[in-house]
Amino acid sequence: MNDAGYWSIFLNAALVNNFVLAYFLGICPFFGVSARLETAVRMSGAVSFVMLVASVCAFGINLILEAINAPYLRIISYILVISSTVQLVEMLMRKLSPPTFRALGIFLPLITTNCAIFGLALFQTNKGYGFTQAIVYALGAGAGFALALVLMAGIREKLDLADVPEIFKGTAAALVVAGVLSMGFMGFAGLGR
């Protein structure tokens, strides 16, 4: 049972140990979707929602696994639940908001292999968070992911118009920007303790 306070958990997940910039989770969509601000915002929304659901599911699954003493099933059960959740979100989105669904395109199913969501479930189990703590953690992680993604998209949109050498274009430049962003976020260390 973890003693951390809610505000501290939220700040930690969003800023101090930002999932993208500190843990390197969710890099694929980070570099894939962050070229345009609009898609970045939509992707963040989808990822945040899936994170919330995944966090709750992981908490429930962990209770069951501990009851039947089968820790070795953790990886396989988490990933199966997460993929099913993503399928569900995809179906719901297709029904409720077709334009958003079309805008996200290939990225929605890619959330399945989004390390960030699986990583969230794993970290939360390792830290031994309770139910409310898990929810706060997921909210924080989603907020942090959104923040990093939006920041990155804004910078990349500007970078596209700049005069960048050929070999630098695309991922290499994005990586350097990410590195600098990551250094910036290190300034949050110690916040909310």
- 155 makes contact with other proteins (CB under 8 A): no
Backbone phi, psi, residue 69, to 5°: 55, 60
Q: Which residue type is seen at 119?
A: G
Q: How far apart are CA 42 and CA 100, in angstroms?
A: 7
- 183 makes contact with other proteins (CB under 8 A): yes
Considering only residues 25 through 64, tell me which ones interact with other proteins, judged by CB under 8 A.
25-28, 31
Q: How many residues bind other proteins (CB under 8 A)?
A: 51
- 21 makes contact with other proteins (CB under 8 A): yes
Q: How far apart are CA 162 and CA 175, in angstroms?
A: 16
Give 44 or 114: the residue with its C-beta nearer to other proteins.
114
Q: How many residues does the chain have?
A: 193
Smallest separation, CB 122 to other proteins (Å) = 5
Smallest separation, CB 171 to other proteins (Å) = 6
Can you tell me which of 68, 106, 161, 167 binds other proteins, judged by CB under 8 A? 167
- 23 makes contact with other proteins (CB under 8 A): yes
177 with 159: CB under 8 angstroms?
Answer: yes
Per-residue DSSP letters for 65-78?
HHHHT-GGGHHHHH
